[in-house]
Structure 1
Amino acid sequence: MRLTLHSVPAAQGLRWVGQGWAVFRRAPLAFSALLALYLVGVMVATLVPLLGPVVAIGAMPMLSLVYMLHTHHSLQQRPLGWALWAQPFKLSAQRTRSQLALGGLYVLGMVGVMVLAHVTDGGAMERLQDALAAIPPEAKDAAEQGNALLWAALQDPAFLNGVALRTFGALLLSVPFWYAPALVHWGGQTAFQSLFSSTLGLWRNRSAFLMNGLGWIGVVLAAGMVMALLSALLGSPVLIQLMAMPATLLVGSVFYAGLYFMFVDSFRFTADPPAAAPGE
């Protein structure tokens, strides 16, 4: 198959948000359950020393591909389910090796970002996490203690530099891995080829992705305002905490459901022309 890059207008980034919502409405429970059970699996995996966190991080690129497969199957009115996690490993040995290589490279990249951030902030993030974990949950002023610790950390420039490095480092790392698993699955590319093609695809449609990001920022802000308004009207500050997880699950599922449309709009696969017969 021959891969060609396709350009889309900036406004397409906002349409991707709508397309993700449209396909999510076809099977909201299936799409939400996929992300919810993945998050539960990550929490369980992190309980296993060393190997668990590695598996949890390495599975991140595969999550995007599984969501693309869910969207693809939903559009074709085909069954959805956890069996789709195995589909990328059933095509060929070469593609399986490439998918596993992508997971390993993603782990190395994330570990590199975290180590560099740890060196930058001098361990301030870990100290904050330990201090927050040491606050008794039953304490009446637990929220006030947590806010005080967080505010004190925000006064430290090294802590802020570490937070910025973790945030932008993770975003930068996501660029080559954005389409990579799908390019291996549908395009048959090797791990390094897919990382290069993914980077080119995002750069070519950077305006659309910027609009998509702004659109999702708007969705998150709107959801936060709605929850705050409901909490104020009902006089229950705890309501925001109760709604936060379902809202996060909903927004995350719709976002992942729209990844397939980003992929098919950015790449085109065409069959190679037949080889000319001898003498032609």
Structure 2
Amino acid sequence: MKLHIVPARTGITWVKSGIRVFWRQPMALSALFFLTMAAMSVATLLPLVGPVLALALLPSATLAMMVASAETMQGRAPTPAVLLTAFRAGRQRLRAMAVLGALYAAGFLLIIGVSALFDGGQFAQVYLGGAPLTQEVAESGAFQLAMWVAMLLYLPLSLLFWHAPGLVHWHGVPPVKSLFFSFVACVRNLGAFTVYGLAWLFVFALGGIAMSLISGLLAAMGLVSAPTVLGGTMVALAMMLAAMCFTSIVFTFRDCFEPPDATQAPEAPAALAETASE
């Protein structure tokens, strides 16, 4: 396995590639993303272990969207079966993904625990669904400080787990080593990932502005109720853009690492070996 160092402008290519591939199968990829989020939401309903289980499922959900993107690049329509990718790759890789999920849940809960030191756990309760987010709470200085601390600490956690599911699944890298390689790949390609993140922020902002203008225009024409259409369209847009973002993750993985050996990978992801100009 060899790490690639890519120029900063590659971040734009990742975003464009993710959007382009999404529109090859918009309904299928949107549905798959919705199903992954729904599965995690259902998991939170389980008593005691629900929220932890939902967190532990995130690496598997990320891998499912990566595989779905690879399927789309190969001209095949992804099916709900990709949601079980992590559970069908053999006992060894299943165990590795389970460890990865447990490590992610532990890391995230640690961050939430640290944030509680700054506001007595108010942000943690709101984030985990244990308390409502009121205007008074949102305007609290301690709450805002805890939120920013959590966001700052989440960044290195995100870098650790960004490539880890793909490394475990396609390269057979042990969980802890996959975290190290993922972090190094992200840091060594920090310019590209910075551009990538800023580009997605721009896309999300542009989409929000466009939907607000369209909703306002329709309301002004008396065709729909402004609050109703704005709320519905904003939720739908957010889900679609999030699906696009998850679709683009596979391109960051593909360009940061040598293509996996087809004899070692549980699947032969030929699309991952294609060039970034695809």
For 1:6-155, list aligned pairs within 5 A: 6-125=4-123, 126=125, 132=132, 149-150=134-135, 152-155=136-139
2:166 aligned with 1:197: no
Tell me whether 1:255 sits opposite 2:245 in the alignment: yes
The SS at the match of 2:258 is strand
> How far apart in 1 are the matches of 2:186 and 2:253?
10
Query: TM-score normalised to the size of structure 1?
Result: 0.84
How much has 1:171 moved relative to structure 2?
2.5
Alignment of 1:234-245 (within 5 A): 234-235=219-220, 236-245=226-235
1:135-160 Cα offsets, whole Å, 9 max, x none, are xxxxxxxxxxxxxx42x335432111
Q: Unaligned stretches of 5+ in structure 1?
A: 134-148, 272-280
Task: Give unmatched runs, 5+ long, in structure 2.
Answer: 221-225, 262-278
* Other structure's SS at 2:72 match: helix
Q: CA offset at residue 237 of structure 1?
A: 3.5
Q: Which is bigger in relative contact order (C-alpha 8 A, separation at least 6)?
A: 1
Moved more, 122-131 or 204-213: 122-131
Task: Report the CA distance between 1:259 and its aligned residue.
Answer: 0.9
Larger radius of gyration: 1
Residue 249 of structure 2 is aligned to residue 265 of structure 1: no
Are 2:25 and 2:77, in contact at CA under 8 Å, matched by a contact in 1?
no
Question: How far does residue 161 in structure 1 lie from its aligned partner after superposition?
Answer: 1.2
RMSD: 2.1
Name the structure 1 match of 2:152. Answer: 168
1:149-200 CA distance string (max 9 Å, x none): 42x3354321111111222222321111000010011111100110000001
Which residue number in structure 2 is paired with residue 216 of structure 1?
A: 200
Distance 2:142 2:201 in 1: 27
**Counterparts of 2:87 and 2:96 in 1: how far apart (Å)?**
10
Distance, in Å, in 2 between the alignment partners of 1:130 and 1:201 is 36
Give the deviation of 1:113 after TM superposition: 0.9
Instruction: Classify 1:221/1:189 alpha carbon distance in 2 versus 1 (closer, same or farther; 3 Å).
Output: same
Q: Secondary structure at the match of 2:2?
A: strand
Cα offset, 1:127, TM superposition: 7.2
Partners of 2:137 and 2:85 in 1: CA distance: 45
Q: CA deviation at 1:130?
A: 6.9
Seen in structure 2, the aligned counterparts of structure 1 residues 270 and 225 have a Cα distance that, compared at 3 Å, is closer
Identity of aligned residues (%): 33
1:227 is aligned to 2:211: yes
Which residue type is aligned with residue 63 of structure 1? A
